[in-house]
Chains A and B, each alone.
Chain A
Amino acid sequence: MTAVIETAGLGKRYRTLWALADCTVSIPAGHVVGLVGPNGAGKTTLLDLATGMLAPTTGAITVLGGRPAAGPAQLARVGYLSQDAPLYTGLSVADHLKLGARLNPGWNADQARDRVRRLDLDPRRKAGTLSGGQRAQLALTLAIAKRPELLILDEPVASLDPLARREFLQDLMETVGEHQVSVVMSSHLISDLERICDYVIVLVDSRVRVAGPVDELLATHHLLSGPRRDPASLPDGVEVISASHTDVQTTLLVRTSGRVLDPAWMVSELGLEDLVLAYMKQAGASRNRHLEVQK
């Protein structure tokens, strides 16, 4: 499995504040990868570093085997749709397509024109007069029609209303299906990611908490509930992600490659959202433990 984005000890500091610190992550090719994490986890910083919008303070990052934004060839291989989808407000839709055609040797003019027609965008309209959803669609058109090998999307739907969000994601899925392109998309709307991603990475405090294909993650994580007992009594190979107890009952989220056979437990499946949230919560707790050990 080759990596589209590979980092080692990557860090970015703004004066005294580390937006991303010691981040080591490997994002595989050929997937629609969802990058999730709480606000401030470093998702946007990581994607900005991957597109060369930022230069790293420490560590290294390679994207499709090259240095981000190293030259025209590298730039041509990566499409980026950044947060809030900035566009030239004074330029028309047609101007934006012309911009794409002029600045990208691999520009697919037919695809761009078709998309704009299908989205019902008037080519003469100024980008500044478009709705949020239309702007995002036009920005996506720019990112896709340059025929990138990797498409990076930073919170592309965060500012869209639910209907526009669904249309955008639908359209994105169709486009990804038609053209062989790897996608890395950050979001904190897990329900949106669940719809389109086949691989998920949970990033908390610059650390990867869990990463893997969505099916595999869902198949290996289980929610156990039963009479109150110590989680330590579980057999080897079962990792407890989160545990909550009432006076009489214990609920555990566990990861195991095998099956849980103990009849005392009631095993139920769980959704991606519960899984991701459990890892986000666990992250904070384990970090504190880690600090205590250091003392």
Chain B
Amino acid sequence: MIWLTWRQFRAQAITGVAAVALFAILLAVTESHMTSLYDASGIVGCHGGACTGAANQFLTNLTSGQGVSFLPAGANAYVILYFLSVLFILIAPAVVGSFWGAPLIARELETGTARVAWNQSVTRTRWLAVKLALIGIAAMAVTEALSLVQAWWAAPIGKAVGLGGSASIMGEGRFGQFVFPSHGITPLGYAAFGFALGVTAGFLIRRAIPAMAVTLAIFAVVQFVTPLWIRPNLLPSSHTIATIAAAGANVTSVFTITNVTNVTHAGSPQFALSAAAVPGQPGAWITSSGAINVAGQPVSGMPAACASVTPGNLGPGGSAVLNNCLASHGVRVALSYHPVSQFWPLQFAETGLFLVLALALAWYCFWRLNRRFSV
């Protein structure tokens, strides 16, 4: 059965390995140049606040493509490579699910070859078990390989971001919506789930092409829903109430008044406050934040005194003057967040969730194959 599975899967396996190789080559040819930019930025051996400056310098150089001799200036080669590579990892499970998973059973039912396989001296359960195990592991390996190659290539960016560098659209932290699901062990969970989803869709629909489309659609929905509603709630989040003053001199960069409107409601302008960082918790992932008043109630109406000092500060952004005025009127920020120490627990929780879903789908396939079966 292993031989047959391999014989049928051979061409797809070669395609998969070729894709990983091409991906690695594309990144490898630029890796040494990125490392040289990193070494030249002064991050290595920096101390204290100088590190953030050096990290920002590195990210700026990287974004603007400075010193990229082999490309025209401003080509943004690294930005394009960075996002393409992350995107590739994110869609890999969907591709694997629809091109390896969906036809796995569907094609055999469509062409009638399932009857050939099921009339050899091998039970259907074994037939499916070998296919699921071998190709499922291949799917996980390919996706994780992409992730590891990208992580190796992007390591300097990660270090710079870790040092507080944010002067780039590549400056997404470890909990970022692109970074989190494409690094660590989450690609394993997504690959297993995408593959099992494809197999199940193919089994239910019994036609490979529609099953591929359904797999892509469902996976896209899952990828959209997960960071919004599932990931923040996988583990209990920490809560804190921060006073605006607690941020001290750095007040504007810690708390951003994201939206001050001069639409008066009950006599005062509306404002919304959200936090960009948690005091004392660098790198934490803020899942929700908002302004509360002295009594701890959510507040959106501007205190009258602040409304009078803000005419010039209305509009997105706010200012230190406005922040200080809000703070002096007892406005504080309520925060829910996952500290950076939750990174691996969240990785395990999310990977575990999708592995369990994958196993549930696989179990359903076995059940259907043996109980409600008909070709």
Q: Contact residues of A with B, CB < 8 Å?
A: 14, 48, 51-55, 69, 71-73, 75-76, 78-80, 82, 84, 86-91, 95, 98-100, 102-106, 139, 142-143, 146
Given the known A-B contacts A55-B371, A86-B113, A88-B113, are A80 and B119 also in contact in the complex, defined by CB atoms under 8 Å? yes
Q: Which of B3, B115, B116, B373 contacts A102 (CB 8 A)?
A: B3
Q: Which of B288-335 contact A (CB under 8 A)?
A: none
Q: Indicate if B30 sits at the interface (CB-CB under 8 A).
A: no
A54→B369 CA distance, assembly (Å): 10
Give min CB distance, A130 to chain B, whole Å.
Answer: 14
* Contact A48–B123 (Cβ < 8 Å): no
* Contact A75–B119 (Cβ < 8 Å): yes
* Contact A82–B123 (Cβ < 8 Å): no
11 additional A-B pairs beyond A69-B123, A142-B116, beta carbons within 8 Å, are: A48-B375, A53-B375, A55-B372, A86-B112, A86-B116, A95-B7, A98-B7, A99-B120, A102-B3, A103-B117, A103-B122
* Contact B115–A106 (Cβ < 8 Å): no
A88→B112 CA distance, assembly (Å): 9
Q: Indicate if B36 sits at the interface (CB-CB under 8 A).
A: no
A54→B117 CA distance, assembly (Å): 15
Q: Which 6 A-B pairs have the closest CB atoms?
A: A86-B112, A103-B120, A76-B121, A80-B119, A104-B121, A75-B121
Q: Indicate if B15 sits at the interface (CB-CB under 8 A).
A: no
A274→B61 CA distance, assembly (Å): 92
Q: Indicate if B111 sits at the interface (CB-CB under 8 A).
A: yes
* Contact A88–B116 (Cβ < 8 Å): yes
Residue among B113, B120, B122, B374 with the most chain A CB within 10 A? B120
A61→B351 CA distance, assembly (Å): 45
- Give every chain A residue within 8 A of B374 (Cβ-Cβ): 14, 53-55
Q: Indicate if B231 sits at the interface (CB-CB under 8 A).
A: no
Interface residues on B, range: 20 to 34
Residue among B4, B118, B119, B122 with the most chain A CB within 10 A? B119
Give min CB distance, A102 to chain B, whole Å.
Answer: 5
* Contact B111–A86 (Cβ < 8 Å): yes
Given the known A-B contacts A54-B374, A88-B8, A95-B7, are A104 and B118 also in contact in the complex, defined by CB atoms under 8 Å? no
* Contact A146–B4 (Cβ < 8 Å): no
Q: Contact residues of B with A, CB < 8 Å?
A: 1, 3-4, 7-8, 111-113, 115-124, 126, 371-375
Give min CB distance, B320 to chain A, whole Å.
Answer: 69
- Give every chain B residue within 8 A of A139 (Cβ-Cβ): 116
* Contact B112–A82 (Cβ < 8 Å): yes
* Contact B4–A102 (Cβ < 8 Å): yes
Given the known A-B contacts A72-B121, A75-B120, are A103 and B1 also in contact in the complex, defined by CB atoms under 8 Å? yes
Give min CB distance, B322 to chain A, whole Å.
Answer: 68
* Contact A102–B121 (Cβ < 8 Å): no
Give min CB distance, B60 to chain A, whole Å.
Answer: 53
* Contact B371–A98 (Cβ < 8 Å): no
Given the known A-B contacts A54-B374, A54-B375, are A75 and B115 also in contact in the complex, defined by CB atoms under 8 Å? no
A284→B372 CA distance, assembly (Å): 33
Give min CB distance, B181 to chain A, whole Å.
Answer: 35
Give min CB distance, A84 to chain B, whole Å.
Answer: 7
Q: Which of B116, B118, B375 contacts A87 (CB 8 A)?
A: B116
7 contacts between A and B (CB under 8 A): A51-B119, A53-B118, A86-B115, A88-B113, A99-B7, A104-B120, A143-B119
Residue among B115, B117, B372 with the most chain A CB within 10 A? B115
Chain B residue at smallest Cβ distance from A57 = B374
A55→B373 CA distance, assembly (Å): 6
- Give every chain B residue within 8 A of A86 (Cβ-Cβ): 111-113, 115-116
- Give every chain B residue within 8 A of A82 (Cβ-Cβ): 112, 115, 119
A55→B374 CA distance, assembly (Å): 7
A70→B122 CA distance, assembly (Å): 10
Q: Which of A14, A72, A88 contacts B122 (CB 8 A)?
A: A72
A69→B373 CA distance, assembly (Å): 12
A69→B371 CA distance, assembly (Å): 12
* Contact B113–A80 (Cβ < 8 Å): no
Chain B residue at smallest Cβ distance from A146 = B121
* Contact A80–B115 (Cβ < 8 Å): yes
A102→B121 CA distance, assembly (Å): 9
Q: Which of A69, A79, A98, A106 contacts B124 (CB 8 A)?
A: A69
- Give every chain A residue within 8 A of B7 (Cβ-Cβ): 91, 95, 98-99
A249→B297 CA distance, assembly (Å): 106
Give min CB distance, B368 to chain A, whole Å.
Answer: 11
Q: Which of A55, A79, A84, A88 contacts B119 (CB 8 A)?
A: A79
A55→B372 CA distance, assembly (Å): 7
Give min CB distance, B156 to chain A, whole Å.
Answer: 45
A102→B373 CA distance, assembly (Å): 25
* Contact A71–B123 (Cβ < 8 Å): yes
* Contact B371–A100 (Cβ < 8 Å): no
- Give every chain B residue within 8 A of A90 (Cβ-Cβ): 8
- Give every chain A residue within 8 A of B119 (Cβ-Cβ): 51, 75, 78-80, 82, 143
Give min CB distance, A92 to chain B, whole Å.
Answer: 10
- Give every chain B residue within 8 A of A73 (Cβ-Cβ): 121
Chain B residue at smallest Cβ distance from A76 = B121
- Give every chain B residue within 8 A of A143 (Cβ-Cβ): 119
Residue among A14, A55, A89 with the most chain B CB within 10 A? A55
A132→B196 CA distance, assembly (Å): 35
* Contact B115–A69 (Cβ < 8 Å): no
- Give every chain B residue within 8 A of A102 (Cβ-Cβ): 1, 3-4
Give min CB distance, A243 to chain B, whole Å.
Answer: 41
Chain A residue at smallest Cβ distance from B112 = A86
* Contact B3–A69 (Cβ < 8 Å): no
